[in-house]
Amino acid sequence: MTYSYYPGCTLKTKAKDLDRYGRLSAEALGVTLEEIENWQCCGAVYPQASDEIATKLSAIRALDAAKGKGQKLLTLCSACHHVIKRVNHDMQTDDNLRLKANNYLKLDEPYLGEAEVVHYLEMLRDEVGFDNIKKAVKNPLKGVKIAAYYGCLLLRPSGVMAFDNPECPTIIEDFIKAIGATPVIYSQRNECCGGYISLEDKPQAQKRVDAIVKSAMDAGAEMIITACPLCMYNLDANATEHRLPVKYFTELLYQALGIEEEKEGA
């Protein structure tokens, strides 16, 4: 299966490794990611105001590109996923936006929300299957107690995101089990870390992060993994009283699949 791949700004700049881990792991699992040509930044925040059109266009362009190739659009960053999936939903349901955006974009054929947006984790779950990942793992992370941090953007609003049970998700825990580690359930895993306000209000972000990290630690976690580069940064940079290593899920996948060694060996 080949996906149109939307890496997003962070994974192309500050966090290039995360992108590389994601691509190589996908390849190892038999999934091809074709980066969308000339993609533009999605804006990282879904424009909630109903009169916002221009701020949604970059997402629509990416969606149209995937539609043109007849592929699903795959995202790796939760923020991109959230923005693009919600804009796509708007294009399916909001007549006003449909009309105005299509008038503006002047595409060969109007875009009406035909593309399907899939997060990397959903691809692992629904396309590859966690059982198959388990089989493909060469270096299981045995005994490592990992806390999955979902945050907000993957889960909410559940009516649009339809990602997992918004109040009691399991997908990242299933992922953790697949790579041989032990998931840790803790109460704050779907509470906000304050990533969006980390520039505006550092103390508030710190307060949020501390609550989350403490909750994970109390539950016995040795590490936190996320699917969002902003959360990853925030949980690390704004941790004050409590601190745990924070990793991106693709990094662990990459390690577990033993890709580096394979390359070196080859």
User: According to CB under 8 A, which one of 7, 22, 113, 229 is a site residue for another protein?
Assistant: 229
45 binds another protein (CB under 8 A): yes
Look at residues 48, 65, 161 and name the one whose alpha carbon lies nearest to residue 115. Answer: 65
158 binds another protein (CB under 8 A): yes
Alpha-carbon distances, residue 105 vs 60, 79, 108, 110 (angstroms): 9, 23, 9, 9
User: According to CB under 8 A, which one of 194, 221, 223, 239 is a site residue for another protein?
Assistant: 194
Q: How far is the CB of 265 from another protein (least distance, A)?
A: 32
User: According to CB under 8 A, which one of 188, 226, 250, 255 is a site residue for another protein?
Assistant: 188
Q: Is 115 left (phi over 0), alpha (psi -120 to 50) or beta?
A: beta
Reading the block at residue 252, the tokens are 């662990």
13 binds another protein (CB under 8 A): yes
Q: Looking at the chain, how many residues does it have?
A: 266
266 binds another protein (CB under 8 A): no
198 binds another protein (CB under 8 A): yes
User: According to CB under 8 A, which one of 58, 210, 236, 247 is a site residue for another protein?
Assistant: 236
Look at residues 247, 255, 229, 254 and name the one whose alpha carbon lies nearest to residue 27. Answer: 254
Pairing mode, strands 73-75 and 32-35: unpaired
Look at residues 80, 82, 64, 85 and name the one whose alpha carbon lies nearest to residue 4. Answer: 64
User: Pattern of binders to another protein over 79-118, x per CB under 8 A?
Assistant: x---------------------------------------
> 38 or 143, CB closer to another protein?
38
User: According to CB under 8 A, which one of 30, 70, 129, 157 is a site residue for another protein?
Assistant: 157
Helices (H), the chain: 9-12, 16-28, 57-69, 78-93, 95-105, 120-122, 130-136, 158-161, 171-178, 202-218, 229-237, 249-257, 259-265
> 200 or 241, CB closer to another protein?
200
Interface residues with another protein (CB under 8 A) are 8-10, 12-15, 41, 43-45, 47-51, 55, 77, 79, 151-153, 155-159, 165-168, 187-188, 191-192, 194-201, 204, 208, 215, 218, 229-230, 232-233, 236-237
